[in-house]
Amino acid sequence: MAEEKGKEVAVRKEEAKPVPARLLSPFEEMDRLFEGFFPRGWMRPMRWEWPSLAEIERRFPKVDVIDRDNEIVVKAEVPGVDKKDIEVTTTDNTVTIKGKTSHEEKEEKGDFYRCEISRGAFSRTVALPGEVDGSQAKASFKDGVLELTLPKQAKSKRVSVKID
């Protein structure tokens, strides 16, 4: 408490908010800057949450690209997606994987009724380390992992060079 002309005036101390240990998305960083600049609740009567970086990453399949002598293998994690809901297209040096998910869960017990529906779609284009023949591509899908085998075109096969 501080005194001013014989009256007690309450002094409000702002506590510094610690920065989270995880990486902030640009939206979360901007949110944090606004919270520190403007008084609480001013211009933002209702709080709306931006999607976290982890949520954004979940929408895109993680992909491994393996460059072999005569082929390129692409493995993509697509858990919870049915084989019929995946579409793969290729060009000479890219692969595009598109898919959609749909999940519906219902529960009824007496007067209680709950229904949760989630739907989503994703698309990921991956640049390949060489040119491939897409017409000879082979694909397999097992346990949520899509594996594409793309034979290289003759002009892009890997060649070892002996150093003198």
Residue-wise pLDDT tens for the chain (164 aa)? 444 455 555 555 555 555 555 667 777 777 777 676 665 555 555 555 555 555 544 567 889 999 998 999 999 998 888 889 999 999 989 999 999 888 788 888 888 788 888 788 888 999 999 899 988 999 999 998 999 999 998 776 677 788 87
In the chain, what are the domain boundaries?
Answer: 21-58, 60-156
Task: Name, in order, each residue with C-beta under 8 angstroms of 63's C-beta and a sequence gap of 6 or more.
Answer: 74, 75, 76, 77, 97, 124, 126
Alpha-carbon torsion (87, 96, 140, 80), positive or negative: negative
**pLDDT score, position 150:** 95
Q: What is the pLDDT of residue 52?
A: 53
Amino acid 118 reads: S
Question: What's 27's DSSP letter?
Answer: H
CATH class of 60-156: mainly beta
